[in-house]
């Protein structure tokens, strides 16, 4: 949070130096200078009114409402393009800019579902919240009081939208809506070195499932859970490639999958 604050204060000319994410004396002094400029109480504490003032100039025009709400809705988030697309069946219905996770706290690549919806959390979560069923953390799609961050990879892993945009998506996407968060396969390379087996979960399991899809061995749903279907798919892959049939993914099997999927070749280009 402090890093984003420093970045915004730097954009506005109130902070000089390295944006190190530490709320030290220089940051507090910059906040006080900003508050003085905006005729706010000069406290050095960043309250809701301060965040609101920091967002001035980043207002997002309200998107034109659709003639009709979409049917058969799904959501596609592209972490490389930093866009969220509402799909109607196989067709693009509407696309929005987003902010996503920074490298140290990446957004969860994979295939998820909306499992909860909340109104007006406010603050950093903005006007709406849509929670996702990611098994290793609390992730969601939400609004923001930091509109200047849209179009950047700066969040703690959630997908941020302009408040005006998330309100629209919230109305169209019921609980149960599928949400695919995608990125180039190489982004997950090296995400884990443990031997994977039935019962495991995590980003490294998503990476395995994506590798299996890329090589034509489809585990159906890249949900981060090493379940019975993923185990069966691994066994099938091992059988067809002459690897020991264990149903587990050790370093040898993982490297074999990466070579077949062209991950190494892509990385070296």
Name the residue with tokens 């919806």.
117
What per-residue confidence (pLDDT) applies to 66? 62
83-122 residues labelled b (16+ CB within 10 A) or e (exposed): ebbbbbeeeebbebbbbbbbeeebbbbbbbbbeebeeeee
225 phi and psi angles, rounded to 5 deg: -105, 130
| CA dist list (Å): 137 to 52, 74, 189 | 28, 22, 20
Query: Would you write out the chain's pLDDT as a tens digit for each of its 269 residues?
Result: 677 778 787 887 877 888 887 888 888 888 888 888 878 888 888 888 887 787 777 766 666 666 678 889 999 999 999 999 999 999 999 999 999 999 999 999 999 999 999 997 777 889 999 999 999 999 999 999 889 899 999 999 999 999 999 999 999 999 999 999 999 999 998 777 899 999 999 999 999 999 999 999 987 899 999 999 999 999 999 999 999 999 999 999 999 999 999 887 544 44
What per-residue confidence (pLDDT) applies to 226? 96
For 93, the token pair is 């219905």
139 alpha-carbon distance from chain centroid: 8
* pTM metric for this prediction: 0.82
Catalytic residue among 142, 201, 222, 255: 142
Helix (H) or strand (E) holding 94: strand 91-97
Catalytic residue among 158, 201, 240, 256: 158
Q: State the number of CA atoms in the 13 A half-sphere of 151 facing the CB.
A: 4
- CA pair distance 121, 261, nearest whole angstrom: 42
113 alpha-carbon distance from chain centroid: 13
- CA pair distance 158, 194, nearest whole angstrom: 26
For 74, the token pair is 């799904």
Bridge partners, 110 (sequence order): 181
190-212 residues labelled b (16+ CB within 10 A) or e (exposed): eebeeebeeebbbbbbbbbbbbb
Helix (H) or strand (E) holding 141: strand 140-142
Q: What is the dihedral of CA 183, 187, 193, 196, to 10 degrees?
A: 10
What per-residue confidence (pLDDT) applies to 61? 62
Bridge partners, 210 (sequence order): none
Yes or no: say if 250 and 195 are a contact pair by the CB < 8 Å rule: yes
What per-residue confidence (pLDDT) applies to 15? 78
158 is catalytic: yes
What per-residue confidence (pLDDT) applies to 204? 95
- CA pair distance 58, 99, nearest whole angstrom: 14
What per-residue confidence (pLDDT) applies to 64? 64
């Amino acid at each position: 949070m402090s890093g984003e604050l420093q970045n915004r204060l730097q954009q506005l000319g109130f902070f000089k130096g390295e944006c190190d994410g530490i709320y030290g004396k220089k940051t507090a002094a910059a906040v006080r200078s900003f508050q003085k400029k905006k005729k706010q109480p000069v406290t050095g504490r960043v309250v809701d009114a301060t965040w609101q003032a920091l967002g001035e100039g980043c207002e997002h025009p309200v998107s034109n409402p659709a003639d009709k709400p979409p049917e058969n809705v799904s959501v596609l988030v592209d972490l490389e393009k930093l866009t969220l697309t509402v799909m109607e069946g196989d067709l693009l219905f509407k696309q929005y800019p987003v902010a996503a996770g920074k490298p140290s706290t990446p957004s969860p690549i994979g295939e998820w579902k909306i499992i909860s919806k909340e109104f007006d959390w406010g603050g950093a979560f903005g006007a709406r919240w849509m929670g996702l069923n990611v098994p290793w953390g609390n992730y969601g799609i939400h609004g923001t009081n930091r509109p200047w961050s849209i179009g950047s990879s700066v969040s703690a892993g959630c997908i941020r939208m302009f408040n005006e945009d998330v309100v629209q998506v919230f109305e169209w996407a019921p609980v149960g809506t599928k949400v695919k968060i995608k990125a180039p396969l190489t982004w997950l390379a090296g995400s884990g070195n443990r031997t994977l087996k039935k019962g495991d979960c995590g980003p490294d399991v998503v990476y395995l499932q994506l590798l299996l899809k890329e090589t034509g061995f489809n585990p159906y749903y890249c949900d981060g859970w090493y379940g019975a279907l993923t185990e069966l798919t691994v066994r099938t892959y091992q059988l067809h490639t002459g690897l020991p049939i264990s149903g587990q993914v050790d370093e040898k099997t993982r490297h074999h999958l990466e070579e077949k999927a062209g991950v190494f070749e892509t990385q070296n280009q």
